[in-house]
Chain A
Amino acid sequence: MVVFEKPHALADVPLHYCPGCTHGIIHRLVAEVIDELGIEGRTIGIAPVGCSVFAYNYFNCDMIEAAHGRAPAVATGVKRSDPDNNIVFTYQGDGDLAAIGTAETVHAAARGENITVIFVNNAIYGMTGGQMAPTTLPGQVTQTSPYGRDTSKVGFPVKVCEMLSNVDGAAYLERVAVNNVKNVKNAKKAIKKAFQNQLDGKGFSLIEVVSTCPTNWGLTPEKALEWLEENMLPYYPLGVYKDKFAEKEDK
């Protein structure tokens, strides 16, 4: 009897992520959702530049590697090339989505582009070795904010879900975390809904996953989870920031 196996949409290869990194969980959740919706054969994933740059090796659906920050624009091109068939998701980190790719993110949302965006926010640039991200918390120490993020000099973190909740074209925005079993279950529910929305033609859905980076935070995986709960979650509260269609159904 099989009690546990990899989802079909997840490739059977070793991931390059650091011990305790939550990318692995998020990859698995996306793959499980693709399996459950039966859409692997028509799904095209867009990988970012950042820690998840190799995501194109980890999913069994067709994959495209995008330039830094441009994944929503690439996704737009793919989606528009066959809107009835293609299920398109981007998988992006905080530097990719909320710094260099802010324009692409905001405008894909504004267009109501019928795509699914998985946004992994761990408040730091992982791939390049731990520099300040657009989502780095005030006071947080990184390689390029060695005295802690000084908001009087470098400003404040960008709260993506809050920002996009004011964009009319966005259909569904939810912030989740994968720091415990309950949150992992919630995260999967949200990711599934974000893909289902695309199948239903509802438009732009973005799931922000508040994540850890034990290596660059300089913490053990366990301590990183504690740090996330104590520092990240108060600044980035979990919840649904927008659900265009739920609002309509309520009224």
Chain B
Amino acid sequence: MAEKVLMKGNEALAEAAIMAGCRHYFGYPITPQTEIAAYMAKRMPLIGGTFLQAESEIAAINMVYGAAAAGKRAMTSSSSPGIALKSEGISYLAGSDLPALIINVQRGGPGLGGIQPSQSDYFQATKSAGHGDFHLIVLAPASVQEMVDLTFKGFDLADKYRMPAMLLSDGTMGQMMEPVTLDMGKVTEYDKSSWAACGTKCEREHNVVNSLFIQPDELEKYNFERFERYAQIEANEVMYDEYRMDDAEICIVAYGVAARVSQNAIDKARENGIKVGMIRPITLWPFPKAVLNAAADKVKAFISVELSMGQMIEDIELAIRCKKPVLLCNRTGGMIPTTNDVLSKIEEANNIGGDK
């Protein structure tokens, strides 16, 4: 097993990308993710890779599109306002069935917003990362180790299903240091020769990377095919973590830094005799619907803990078919709920049904 090292989340994920075989990084500076670009700028030239600071977020994602179209593992990183600019390119990646990894180290919004941690791009990432009928695989790390593991996983899933994946992180995860193991095993190689535009060598018909289909029946056919793949992903790739759920009567749902705060609150509430646990989605798309729906038959209430104005809560309500009440515990604008904020919401949930 590789040695544990202490790394910042942003730098750890950058190194993980390199270990995953990514040699092409295109980006544009924006707080709080600039460490990723800085790390790549240092490392890529030493290993024969590409680091390029583009003229804009739009150009950066289109450079990723080019490198991905040529069959290479490519990535970009940004923070909320920059991801909005990339949404055009993300849609083209999806429409052309190209794998790529996009990192969003979220900050507060809307508009220029702020630079402190946020989760207010949940809708953007899971519902509307660009125009048209498509999904992104959305991975939500809650530790520096997961920044590493999910970066590795993100590249693999992107290649496996030929679609873009997003790591939805936040300023806390990006800026914090924790011990990590950069030991991710072997990179799975995928054969891209049937579609990559990297030169025919005059040995085959030309490959065309394209998302334009003027005939509606043809476009519909491609969209149907893509959604068949999405169905497989929903069936096979859901990831989540459970914390103290065994006898739980209240279920917190939280991801990223919100899950970390919730863990403290759960421990405290348990000391006070309240049976509370947590289901932490690791994939936000596909969302862990089944496990939540099953939990709805056991618990009396859910709490969505978010750094946003109630975004993930909608997916929880859908997943549990509104069978149980879902409370919202949230802060926004760069503020993070405290342990006590979550604790009071747990107490509120515990009073539901008037049995206390």
Contact = CB atoms under 8 A, between A and B. Distances in A.
B52 interface: yes
Interface in B177-205: 196-203
Interface residues of A, number: 35
Contact of B210 (A65, A78, A81): A65
Interface of A: 40-44, 46, 53, 56-57, 59-67, 70, 73-82, 85-86, 103-104, 106-107
Contact of A41 (B69, B92, B200): B200
B197 A78 contact: yes
B207 interface: yes
B349 interface: no
B24 A40 contact: no
A28 B355 CA distance: 81
5 shortest interchain CB distances as A-B pairs: A77-B66, A73-B62, A62-B197, A77-B63, A107-B55
Given A42-B199, A56-B208, A81 B24 contact: yes
B2 interface: no
Contacts of B58: 70, 73, 103-104
A77 B22 CA distance: 13
B264 interface: no
Contacts of A44: 70, 197-199
Contact of B66 (A40, A56, A75): A75
Nearest to B196: A62
A134 to B, nearest CB: 18
A82 B70 contact: yes
Interface in B112-142: none
A81 B89 contact: no
B239 interface: no
A65 B209 contact: yes
B285 interface: no
B56 interface: yes
A60 B142 CA distance: 47
Contacts of B54: 73, 107
Contacts of A59: 206
A98 to B, nearest CB: 16
Contacts of B60: 73
17 contacts: A41-B200, A42-B201, A46-B66, A62-B208, A63-B210, A64-B209, A66-B92, A67-B89, A70-B59, A76-B59, A77-B63, A77-B65, A78-B70, A79-B66, A80-B24, A80-B63, A81-B198
